[in-house]
Amino acid sequence: MTRKFFGTDGVRGTANIYPMTADMALRIGAAAGRYFRNDGSNGHRVVIGKDTRLSGYMFENALTAGLTSTGMNVLLLGPVPTPAVGLLTTSMRADVGIMISASHNPHHDNGIKFFGPDGFKLSDEAETQIEALIQSDIEPAKAVNIGRAKRIDDGRFRYAERLKATFPTGMRLDGLKVVIDCANGAAYRVAPEVLWELGATVIKVGVDPDGFNINDGCGSTHPERAAQVIRETGADVGICLDGDADRVMILDETGSVADGDQIMALMAARWADKGRLQGDTLVATVMSNLGLERFLATKGLHLHRTKVGDRYVVEAMRAGGFNLGGEQSGHIVMTDYATTGDGLLAGLQFLAAMIDTGQKASALTRSFDTVPQMLKNVRFAAGTDPLGARAVAASIADAETKLAGKGRLLIRKSGTEPLIRVMAECEDNHLLAEVVDQIVAEVTAAV
């Protein structure tokens, strides 16, 4: 069955435009309730978290109505990071967790992400079955079996305590000046609190959400503001989260940005030295830089690549028994501690590395030299397949021949937008631009 609603990370789109409407959220909630409450009992629970978008109120209420109509009991966490939902789904013995967020997208978008009872994101198969229920006649619960809803006021505190428990025992952040940019998103309270409780001098950015300013000129996708604050205050390091705090970018004392690849390189090397890196393998996507792969090889470590999406990284980690993975975009997954990407957790582990080694952030954020990478997107009309055009296929084959032994090429459809993504890596910048522009031209002509 073709997936109509679910993309690479749940259901996502512009609020109040199909499929991200209140009535659709109600149906999604009812379908999820029917899927998970499959024995007719009244003991089933779902936890719901959200970020700070204005539309979060609408979707929270609509989902609650749909879930309770099929007999699910709803526990409302309010604004919490996505990894907190994964954690609390298991700790509160819920059957399903739901996060209302469009992650790094602007405020007018929103999304609905699902976690299973084990705290991990749902499989494609489970989402496909929920899709089938959305498009069917969903049987409501009998009046006597309608579910209840309850506010949980201490969700973020439970998450904070779990985060602090992952920090090395006895280690403190005293004397460390940290800029934390919360993107006016879900971590706007918990992230500064955790850092302060561990002893850091905290300089806050992006902690004044108004429903519209999430990810707006701040956070992991716009680290320029935090970089300026670092330079103005003489801070030691910056941690930039995205709207739901499952991504992170690390900024050094000069304001320079380290992406997920550099963070993973540091962690993989440190964990391998301590015998902690399971299978001597890091799991990352096809988007991770070739420089990361080469760096790991010098350490005798392996890079296992997956298709784009942190859920696919996690699936590969679980299948292979690996405990470290992530994406260049800043999802860092450490399954020793969490079931999904956790930006604040990764930030804390980076701070621990600074304390442990006594080195500045700049010394820890440049594990390898990146291979020049170019990415261009071409928008295409629904129902068309530009990659099926003969001229496009010939152009791709020609580019692969030119790059053989010199770099790599990746052509793919976006999982969230009608875009063809054309990416190449090569030390020869002229050749890099030549092959990317050649393919983009042919794809553009075919759309």
Query: Dihedral (C-alpha) 246, 247, 253, 255: value to the nearest 10 degrees?
Result: -140
> Are the C-beta atoms of 289 and 303 separated by less than 8 Å?
no
Domain end, chosen from 153, 183, 207, is at 153
Residue 204 lies in a domain: yes
Same domain as 304, residue 232: no
Say which CATH number the domain at 210 has.
Answer: 3.40.120.10
Residue 161 lies in a domain: no
Residue 21 lies in a domain: yes
Contacts of 27 (CB under 8 A, 6+ apart): 66, 134, 138
Residue 357 lies in a domain: no
Domain end, chosen from 224, 256, 288, is at 256
Say which CATH number the domain at 408 has.
Answer: 3.30.310.50
For residue 22, give its domain range.
Answer: 6-153
Same domain as 293, residue 246: no
pLDDT, residue 3, reads 72
Same domain as 304, residue 184: no
Residue 159 lies in a domain: no
Nearest alpha carbon to residue 349 among 369, 312, 324: 324
User: pTM value?
Assistant: 0.93
Same domain as 132, residue 18: yes
pLDDT, residue 281, reads 98
- Domain count across the chain: 4
Domain end, chosen from 128, 153, 178, is at 153
Residue 368 lies in a domain: no
Same domain as 149, residue 10: yes
Look up 103 and say whether it is catalytic. Answer: yes
Same domain as 132, residue 75: yes
Same domain as 126, residue 22: yes
pLDDT, residue 210, reads 98
Same domain as 47, residue 135: yes
Same domain as 30, residue 130: yes
Contacts of 89 (CB under 8 A, 6+ apart): 47, 96, 97, 115, 116, 117, 119
Same domain as 269, residue 252: no
Same domain as 136, residue 25: yes
Contacts of 144 (CB under 8 A, 6+ apart): none
Same domain as 105, residue 22: yes
Q: What angle do CA 79, 339, 419 make, to 5 degrees?
A: 75
Query: Which token pair is 248?
Result: 């992170």
Choosing from 55, 103, 220, 329, which is the catalytic residue?
103
Residue 364 lies in a domain: no
β-bridge mates for residue 332, sequence order:
326
pLDDT in 10s for each residue of the chain, 447 residues: 457 888 878 899 999 999 999 999 999 999 999 999 978 788 899 999 999 999 999 999 999 999 999 999 999 999 999 999 999 999 999 999 999 999 999 999 999 999 999 999 998 899 999 999 999 999 999 999 999 999 999 999 999 999 999 999 999 999 999 999 999 999 999 999 999 999 999 999 999 999 999 999 999 999 999 999 999 999 999 999 999 999 999 999 999 999 999 999 999 999 999 999 999 999 999 999 999 999 999 999 999 999 988 989 999 999 999 999 999 999 999 999 999 999 999 999 999 999 999 999 999 999 999 999 999 999 998 778 899 999 999 999 999 999 998 999 999 988 767 899 999 999 999 999 999 999 999 999 998
